[in-house]
Structure 1
Amino acid sequence: MVNKKYVIIAIVIIAIVAIIAGFSLAQPAEAGSINGAVTKDCSGTPWFVGKEKGFFDKYNVTLVDKGDIPYAQQPAALTSGELNVYDGHPNALINLIKSGVKVKAVAVTGAEPINGSVEEEHMHWLVKEGSPLKSAKDIETFSKENNRKVKVGVLATGVCADIETNAWLRKNNISTDTIEYVVLPDNQQEQALLQGSIDIATLHPPFFAKAEKDSNETKDASKKLRILTTSTEAFGAAAGLSFAVVNEDFIKSDPDTVANFIKAFKDADRWSNENRQEAGEITSKNIDLPYTANVHWYSPSGAFDAEVDGYIQEWIDAMVADGLLKKGEFEPKDLYTTEFKDTWQTNLPNQ
């Protein structure tokens, strides 16, 4: 016969253990650690470089790699707390804030080069060499003659690829009703373009570099590609703008780690700008490309200033034009915090 006293003691012990376990699970991540999604795409370079070149170690940041979370799913992962930081464009950040998620940008990461280098631009729009699409105006003609919309590959909707395509069409007085977006990861768009599943590929580095390299090296005319437009031509100097976005709860609970992360990440950004060949080699190794990859261009300073506010406003205006925002619903300063301005390097040329 079981002694009731021992049964009661056992129940109490189990309850205490459960409470302790629940308390432990509810605690924030260990100070100094940050959850990031190190994906095998264009966004991976600062993470790869930061780890390999010791920038995270330099600032005592422990990177917890949450895996290859698709870019389109990263905002949700940030919302749930699976990620502490997300590298995204202004429209992605606005969409998060509109959905009630308390997040702020803490530093500028991506930028559009102002040195005229096409290979450093944020995106290339590619078509087959024999395509009748040679300018934005040809899209309307193509749509009428083929009695269908022009199919444009994008890695997701609500990102740079679609908002900048829409802006490019408006800039040329072409209706966005002439196109249809087909969601495909960048690494699948080259093949889809060659097979005719899409008419236009919208690619980031290193994938536009790969597609253009493949095209240059083939003797098969059916596999030749060419650039239709680029991000600077389509959207101007604001095209490559992106931010390190952090959950406000994480900012409050561990501001020192956020500050150290910004320092490490921006060191990796600057190193990648200054060492593009090696940054490409590091990237290609990590994303399993058989040759040196191209990489993005990054803001040297990381600072939010009047110029960046102007670029943010261009993204806001584009969202208003797309019917995604009401005029005046957001202003640039709604998107970021200056709490970490001491981590920015404002004495550097932003080019």
Structure 2
Amino acid sequence: MVNKKLIAIVIVIIAIIAIIAGLVFLPSSANANSINGAVTKDCSGTPWFVGYEKGFFDKYNVNVVDKGDIPYAQQPAALSSGELNVYDGHPNALINLIKSGVPVQAVVVTGAEPINGSLDEEHMHWLVKENSSLKGPEDFEKFVKDNGRKVKVGVLATGVCADLETNAWLRKNNITPNDTIEYVTLPDNQQEQALLQGDIDIATLHPPFFAKAEKDSNETNDSSKKLRILTTSTEAFGPAAGLSFAIVNEEFIKEHPDTVRNFIKAFKDADRWSNDNREEAGEITAKNIDLPYTANVHWYSPSGAIDDEVKGYIQDWIDAMEADGLIEHGEFVPEDLYTTEFNDTWDTSLPNQ
């Protein structure tokens, strides 16, 4: 009898332990809705900062796990390794990931080029010293001849928007990039000083760094520190220039579609709020990236929809990559790059730009 009671007690204890273990390892709603992102202290951080501060991630029960200030150029590799679940990148970054065997898809449009002609909302500015002989693309070949070297262009990284759009701008003006350009890899926040020191001839800057450089130039009386705009992203590459996407690993999409859907809703709310409240979005950004002034911020697609207009812009990026010899003609079509699984999160009543 004692043995039977002992056995019964042991069975009950084991059952209780099993129940407790099940509760411990049962994923909480927060864990089930977690997504890994890299919130970097640069122009890409605004929707993340706004999403946190204005409660958009909380609104949709999205637990963003910040994997730290991973440099932008290293984020595709982090997405490939699984360290990141989502990455905000241009079409060429997406194509490079796919070419390297990483199964990823764009799920929504994030960045866009403004259609209102506002210089401070454009994706990039190319800056030169005020006394530079470079006034336009027609001056590049003469610069090379006069100086016995190529034009040094600062870029955040190669294989991003800065070099692709510079090449496209030169080609459409009948200038051969390989004959005239040398790219120098520098973070945006170092390019202004490098330009003033003569280490580079052109700085290719995103906000808030082009706004800072132009503000510094306008406020100085020292002619050696005066800068001017050589070209802008819209002029260089047209309305496709600022196009970027939230890019997600296909495995994560398959395993956590609701998390992806809620993340898109939160991120696009943050995008739209940033468009509508640019000054406050700039203040939030400046605070988070340790700037002593109000930051300028990107312009974001209000809609987020990947529609026929956006597909045309994707084709512009594909054409530019083909012209640079990065992909073969016809190797990619726009439909290779995105999924429509989350089109219920897109607001098609709003413009993409």
TM-score, L = length of structure 2: 0.91
User: CA offsets per residue over residues 194-235 of structure 1, 9 Å max, x none?
Assistant: 000000000000000000000011111100100000000000
Structure 2 counterpart of 1:60:
61
Q: Secondary structure at the match of 1:30?
A: helix
Matched, 1:122 2:127: no
Q: Which aligned pairs between 1:201-216 and structure 2 lie closer than 5 A? A: 201-216=203-218
The one-letter amino acid of 1:175's match is: T
1:298 aligns with 2:274: no
- Asked whether 1:335 is paired with 2:337, we answer yes
2:11 alignment partner in structure 1:
none
Give secondary structure in 2 for the equivalent of 1:64. Answer: strand
How far the C-alpha of 1:139 sits from its partner, in A, is: 1.1
In the alignment, what sits opposite 1:78?
79
Q: Distance in 2 between matches of 1:112 and 1:102?
A: 27
Partner Cα distance (1:349, 1:91) in 2: 23
Q: Distance in 1 between matches of 2:195 and 2:241?
A: 23
**Does 2:171 correspond to 1:185?**
no
CA RMSD of aligned residues (A): 1.1
Q: How do 1:215-226 and structure 2 match up within 5 A?
A: 215-226=217-228
**Would you say 1:315 and 2:300 are equivalent positions?**
no
Is the CA contact 2:305–2:352 (under 8 Å) kept in the aligned structure 1?
Answer: no
Equivalent residue letter for 1:257: T
CA distance in 1, matches of 2:350, 2:241: 21
Question: Per-residue displacement from partner, 1:12-49 (whole Å, max 9, x unpaired)?
Answer: xxxxxxxx9xxx9xxxx931111000000000000000
Paired position in structure 2 for 1:34:
35
Structure 1: unaligned runs, 5 residues or longer: 1-19
Aligned-pair CA distance for 1:350: 2.8
Residue 97 of structure 1 pairs with residue 102 of structure 2: no
Q: Tell me the SS of whatever aligns to 2:126.
A: strand
* Deviation (angstroms), 1:162: 0.2
SS of residue matched to 1:107: strand
Percent identity, aligned pairs only, is 84
1:257, distance to aligned residue in structure 2 (A): 0.4
How do 1:138-287 residues align onto structure 2 when only pairs under 5 Å count?
138-176=139-177, 177-287=179-289
Cα distance in 2 between the residues matched to 1:175 and 1:308: 28
DSSP-derived class of the 2:303 partner: coil
Structure 2 unaligned regions, length at least 5: 1-20
What do the CA deviations read for 1:116-155 (whole angstroms, capped 9, x no partner)?
Answer: 0011000000000111111011111101110100000000
Whole-Å separation in 2 of the counterparts to 1:132 and 1:344: 46
Q: Residue type of the partner of 1:59?
A: Y
TM-score (norm 1): 0.92
Larger Rg over CA atoms: 2
Deviation at 1:348, TM superposition (A): 1.1
Between the aligned partners of 2:31 and 2:170, the Cα distance in structure 1 is 48
Distance 1:45 1:347 in 2: 24
Distance in 2 (CA, whole Å) between partners of 1:124 and 1:139 is: 18
Counterparts of 1:170 and 1:264, CA distance in 2: 39
